[in-house]
Amino acid sequence: MSLIEKALIDKIKVKANVLKHRAIDQHVNLAVTGLSRSGKTAFITSLVNQLINENSQSQMTFFSTIHEGRFIAAKRVPQKDLHIARFDYDSAAKALSEEPPCWPLPTKGISQLRLAIKYQPNNSIIKYTTDNATIFIDITDYPGEWLLDLPMLNQTFEEWSEVMTELLKQAPRVEIAEEFIQRLESLSPFDPVDEKLLAELSEQYTQLLQTFRNEMGLSLIQPGRFILPGDLAGAPILQFFPYTNFSDIDLDAYQKAEEDTLIGMLRARYIEYKERVVKAFYKEHFVNFDRQIILADCLTPLNNGYGSFNDLQQAMNLITESFRYGKANFLTRMFSPKIDKLLFAATKSDHVTPEQHGNLTSLLNQLIHPIRQKINFENITTETIAISSVKATQFGKSQHQGKTLPVIRGIKLPERKQITLFPGMVPKALPAESYWQDNSFNFMPFAPLESTGLHQPFQHIRMDQVLEFLLGDKMK
């Protein structure tokens, strides 16, 4: 047997095993969805850590499989897609366990991880066929920036340019983008293309995106690969930008424009980017999910102001349009999986005091209300929760001017200085723009709490409730 034939047989066996586990509902493809800096890498690391290190210190009261004593063990096993890098759990867990501990590096490319969880079934047909059952959990990790490219699949170059132009001409982007817009307006779209100028303008647009994300804390960044290109760095496919003056050009002439014109080349590269980059990413990684958690950092946008908070709401609305939601049955589970349970999680809940968690959950509920209305039409189960995948602070009480105040204590980053503070109030409803004129927020970044060891469960907030929502009904 040749190596090619053996590889083909191995691939067929992997697919057969996946179908077998789907047939008996013992396989979950979990979409861990988070925008940049929402804590996705820390979340995946904590989820794995809680399961493979489960013991009496795990604080997993609300995960029924553990609470009822039916959990046996979990371990990492080889993933099904052998051409994709494995999620570097060991490095992430080591970073969180070091002295002093630090946050794992953010994701810069695609990686996967597969977990096998062995448990005792108590309420399903599996109970009558075996004493122990095994469920397989597949997680694909990817940069949050790439997620926001998915809506581009449904847009022409003209439509995308109009959306981006509207964003660039609105606060808070307009002041920073004004020079770029003026430069584009001085161009003649039907002139012969100058590739050097095209590369220069693309770089200027990329720098704008970097400023929007890193300095202004904005979420709606397109194309996402421009600021995290991976192996496409320097490729001409990443050298395009939105044309901001469509209202002043003849659309018939535009449709006939050849690729040797500026506007024709921009359109051609946009189409190529959609087909070769975005569609390929979507078809391989976004069509087989069963369950989803969407992570959202609501605190950083509160720090950055109305524009940043409004941007987060728009970005979250866009990303949900790229997933398939609906009730699962035997046939859809086997051949056309749909997401039948969706959890919205407000991360960094330990950065506020416990009595603010209700407000944080309420704020996220308000933020995702339009999304939920659309998704609920598909009759799927949704929930909202405030979590911390890995705790970074401790809660306490402090006296101030004769009053007892709730406070948090932690190591403030980047200076690694221990502080105790009352971080402020979280609004329970979406703030109007005027709210920031009378209120200021200063939610600070903290280092993770010191771990009790590399092979011990990390301290967390409500990870047990997350696991119960996402997996509990699959492990009855």
pLDDT confidence band for 124 (50 / 70 / 90): low
Task: Reply yes or no on whether the pLDDT at 126 is more than 80.
Answer: no
Structure tokens that stand for 390 in this block: 């890995």
pLDDT confidence band for 66 (50 / 70 / 90): very high
Q: pLDDT tens, 203-221?
A: 999 999 999 999 998 999 9
Structure tokens that stand for 32 in this block: 């861990």
Q: pLDDT tens, 376-390?
A: 888 889 999 999 999
DSSP E strand stretches across 142-282: none
Q: How far is it, in rounded angstroms, from Cα 316 to Cα 296? A: 8
Rg (the chain; Cα; Å): 24
Q: pLDDT tens, 429-475?
A: 888 888 888 777 889 999 999 987 778 899 999 999 999 999 999 99
Cis peptide before 223 (omega within 30 of 0): yes
- What's the pLDDT at 125? 62
Q: How far is it, in rounded angstroms, from Cα 347 to Cα 361? A: 10
Mean pLDDT estimate for the chain:
88
- What's the pLDDT at 3? 53
- What's the pLDDT at 319? 82
Structure tokens that stand for 242 in this block: 């939105």
Q: How far is it, in rounded angstroms, from Cα 230 to Cα 223? A: 13
CA distances from 45 to 89, 97, 142, 205 (A): 6, 12, 14, 34
Q: Beta strand pairing status for 71-77 and 111-119? A: antiparallel
Q: pLDDT tens, 240-285?
A: 999 999 988 888 999 999 999 999 999 999 999 999 999 998 888 8
Task: Reply yes or no on whether the pLDDT at 329 is more than 60.
Answer: no
According to DSSP, the residues that pair with 359 across neighbouring strands are: none
* For the chain, percent of residues with pLDDT exceeding 70: 91
Average pLDDT over residues 404-423: 93
| Domains contained in the chain, CATH given | 3-147+287-392+451-475 (3.40.50.300), 150-282 (no CATH)
Structure tokens that stand for 377 in this block: 């039409």
Cβ neighbors of 237 (< 8 A, separation 6 or more) are: 269, 272, 273, 276, 277
What is the arrangement of strands in the sheet containing 403-412, beginning at the earlier edge strand? 393-400, 403-412, 417-421
Pick the more confident residue, 156 or 304.
Answer: 156
pLDDT confidence band for 1 (50 / 70 / 90): low
pLDDT confidence band for 408 (50 / 70 / 90): very high
What three-state secondary structure class fits 422? coil
pLDDT confidence band for 403 (50 / 70 / 90): confident
- What's the pLDDT at 120? 93
- What's the pLDDT at 470? 96
Average pLDDT over residues 149-176: 94
Task: Reply yes or no on whether the pLDDT at 315 is more than 80.
Answer: yes
Q: What is the pTM of this model?
A: 0.88
